[in-house]
Amino acid sequence: MTATYNDQDETTRNALRLSRDAVIQSLGPRLTVYPSNEEMIEAFAKAIFDDYVATLDAGRTHFVAIVPVGPVGQYPLLAKLCQGAGVSLRKMTLIVMDEYLTDEGAWIDDSDPLSFRGHIERNLLANLAPDDQPEVIIPDPRNPKSVQKRIEAFGGVDITYAGVGITGHLAFNEPMEGVTDAAYFATLPTRVVPLLRETRLINSVTAARGNVARIPRLAVTVGMREILSARKLHLFMNRSWQSAAIRRLAFGPVTPAFPASLVQNHADWQISAVSHVLETPEPELA
């Protein structure tokens, strides 16, 4: 049977048809596959720890990373790794990718379970002694340019860690209607953005038991300019619906219609994925 694809170019259709083995073979050393989400999350925490230590060992005085909240689970493990090794994170700056906003454009309250800055506070900072905590920067909707200024002060971003959204967004850099120039999209800075319906819907499934009304309409996000400026990119994928995303970002056209595809133009990028993400994204009715 020939699969039907709506509104997709031939390159995207071919990417979505790639078998599991073809994805693994084509990505080669860029891809690390984990049997379970738990093992991938443990590897995520260890990656942050190892990258931090290696950066300082290489002679840099500070480590700067752009980090996501999703996937979740890595930050308590990172704190445990640091405690076990007697390593302080005071020479680390974490730039949190994004934060949800109220309809008035202010941060949602950090006590809200959806708050990303609240998540970092509860799961990382609260588990570290005050003198061992990293600097944490949250993009500010009132002063979005401050993120780039901090990056410039440190001499750049060492690594961007990221999840991938269903629309292909990195952070909340959603596809934009009428924007087709990938080079332009790659220059977009930290800013306030509306969230697409697809993003709010899938986030309601993963974080609010399907309560779409509970997912904010606005967010502040670190821009593609900051994300792609990092010396390295490391993407983490653990959702079954990311079977399509991994194929589109790695083998589809480089296009702002699927922003994660812009990683193809980066000199140093890799993916860590749970095994089921590699399955072919074809229908299967239960």
pLDDT digit string, tens, across residues 21-43: 999 999 999 999 999 999 999 99
Question: What tens digit of pLDDT does each residue of 76-112 get?
Answer: 999 999 999 999 999 999 999 999 999 999 999 999 9
Which of 188, 207, 114 lies closest to 145 in space, CA to CA?
A: 188
For strand 159-162 and strand 98-101, is the pairing parallel, antiparallel, or unpaired? Answer: unpaired
Task: Residue 121: count other Cβ atoms within 10 Å of its Cβ.
Answer: 16
d(CA 159, CA 150): 15
Does position 123 have pLDDT exceeding 60, yes or no?
A: yes
Q: Report how far Cα 81 is from the mean position of its chain's Cα atoms.
A: 22
Q: How confident is the model at residue 5 (pLDDT cuts 50, 70, 90)?
A: low
Report the distance separating Cα 32 and Cα 111, nearest Å: 35
Lowest mean pLDDT among 20-29, 121-130, 277-286: 277-286
Q: Looking at 58-144, list the stretches that DSSP marks H as alpha helix, in order from N- to C-terminal side.
A: 74-85, 116-123
Whether the per-residue pLDDT at 2 is higher than 60: the answer is: no
Judge whether residue 7 has pLDDT over 70.
no
Using DSSP's 3-state secondary structure scheme, residue 221 falls into: strand
Is the predicted pLDDT of residue 283 greater than 90, yes or no?
no
- Asked if the model's pLDDT at residue 55 lies above 80, the reply is yes
189/205 Cα distance (integer angstroms): 29
Rounded Cα distance, 246 and 85, in Å: 34
Q: What is the mean pLDDT of residues 11-28?
A: 96
221 phi, psi to nearest 5 deg: -135, 140
pLDDT band, very low/low/confident/very high, at 284 (cuts 50, 70, 90): confident
pTM for this model (two decimals): 0.95
The predicted-structure confidence for 227-274, as pLDDT tens digits, reads as follows 999 999 999 999 999 999 999 999 999 999 999 999 999 999 999 999
Q: Are the C-beta atoms of residues 32 and 235 closer than 8 Å to each other? A: no
* Rg, C-alpha atoms of the chain: 18
| Closest to 66 (Cα-Cα) out of 140, 156, 161, 137 | 161
pLDDT value at position 162? Answer: 98
CA 168 to chain centre: 10
Residue 4 has pLDDT above 70, yes or no: no
* pLDDT, tens only, 180-200: 999 999 999 999 999 999 999
Residues 147-164 pLDDT 10s: 999 999 999 999 999 999
